[in-house]
Amino acid sequence: MATDVRTRMVDGAIRLLATRGLAGTSFSSVIDLTETPRGSIYHHFPGGKDELVAAAIDRSAENAVTLLDQRAGESAERVAELFLDSWRLLLTRSGFAAGCALVAVTVDTDSADLRARTAAAFRTWQDHLAALLTRGGLSTDDAARFATLLLAASEGAVLLSRATGDTAAFDAVAATLLAQVRAASR
């Protein structure tokens, strides 16, 4: 039960970071969203909000790796497609209200520890994506380059799509990236 409460709080923090940003993610908002007891948050996160946000960052990295692993062993194009489709789905299912929790923390934190944690999480995503792209047929150098490009371009496309409330920018970026991965796979 205790693990379930902590897990719900961390997952709730991820959702709030993705939709409201770091400033809009408070203990109270996490408690309200997750319907967990107020005292539990201090029990599970005695280090305060930064401890909760750190756990959310770590879980976001784990979630990304789990998602990417669904395409382990598939072509580089299919790996890239899943990665991009997951972002598009996040945008459309949330009505363009959700973006990347890691970006929210990165741009709004004054904490060197949290910034280092987001950098490590982005590296984890990038390295894992590169490994899957390599297994999918790209050279090691191309896979590393495309992992960086997929991550950076999709984050920017998510921001543009949230701002405009449509997927036009995202779809243009995704189509270009997939064409480039396809060409590099030949």
Domains and CATH numbers, the chain: 5-185 (1.10.357.10)
Distance CA(28)–CA(6), nearest Å, equals 15
Note whether 150 and 129 are within 8 A (CB): yes
Distance CA(89)–CA(58), nearest Å, equals 22
Sorted by sequence, the CB contacts under 8 Å of residue 152 that are 6+ apart come out as: none
Note whether 167 and 88 are within 8 A (CB): yes
Distance CA(140)–CA(181), nearest Å, equals 13
How much is the pTM?
A: 0.92
Helix (H) or strand (E) holding 35: none
Question: 166: which DSSP letter?
Answer: S
171/1: higher pLDDT: 171
Q: Which amino acid is at 142?
A: D
Distance CA(24)–CA(123), nearest Å, equals 26
Q: What is the pLDDT of residues 119-161, one digit of tens each?
A: 999 999 999 999 999 999 999 999 999 999 999 999 999 999 9
Q: pLDDT band at 24, cuts 50/70/90?
A: very high
What was the pLDDT predicted at 2?
Answer: 55
Note whether 153 and 167 are within 8 A (CB): no
